[in-house]
Amino acid sequence: MSTAVRLVRFRPSARTTRAGARILDPLDRVYRHAGLEPPEARAIAADALPEPQRTLLVHDSDMTQTLERHIGEPVVIRPLSTALRGRWYVRRVLLARASSGRPVEMGTIRIAVDVFSARIRTQILRGEAPLGRIVREAGLDYKSRPLRFLAITPNPEMLGVFWMPEPVTLYGRQTVVMLNGAKIGQVLEVLPLL
């Protein structure tokens, strides 16, 4: 008696890459901790990003300075959630226009804060300034290297954060954070409609 074997091709979910890495990390950690379902996301090629998102996402500079140049004014930080677990600091913030409070980015970072001096660590943990501005003003050798670019369908919570009445594809990037050439964390950045 022969048995038929059906081969099922593995398809990565919207939450993983082929290598199994979570494409929304560290944002998915924050949502999981809050008991919320993360948004759907898929990796896309840099050249598939529309403008101005491509210009705003495809670089290894800090997003704070990139966004401030694009909108022509400073951004302010609005912390949404923070947690310090040992050496790891996780925070999800909105960067918003200083003039109107309109969101220009939601960023989630998981970073080893023990690599910074006490002064810089205190500034980061205070949550009053964007990380990019803190490290730039300190003159640190800081880079944010893109791992992948994303097309994201916002979940209900993200719709509220970005003042959106209905889901429309948003774009973002997952990056590795480097200090003096060493990996110290990871960031997920999502842009609202621009």
The reported pLDDT for the residue numbered 21 is: 57
Q: What is the pLDDT of residues 84-122, one digit of tens each?
A: 999 999 999 999 999 999 999 999 999 999 999 999 999
**For residue 62, which of 161, 194, 173, 193 has the smallest C-alpha distance?**
173
Domain architecture of the chain: domains with CATH: 27-191 (3.40.1410.10)
pLDDT, averaged across the chain: 88
26 pLDDT higher than 90: yes
At residue 10, φ and ψ (nearest 5 deg) are -70, 130
**For residue 96, which of 76, 126, 122, 73 has the smallest C-alpha distance?**
76
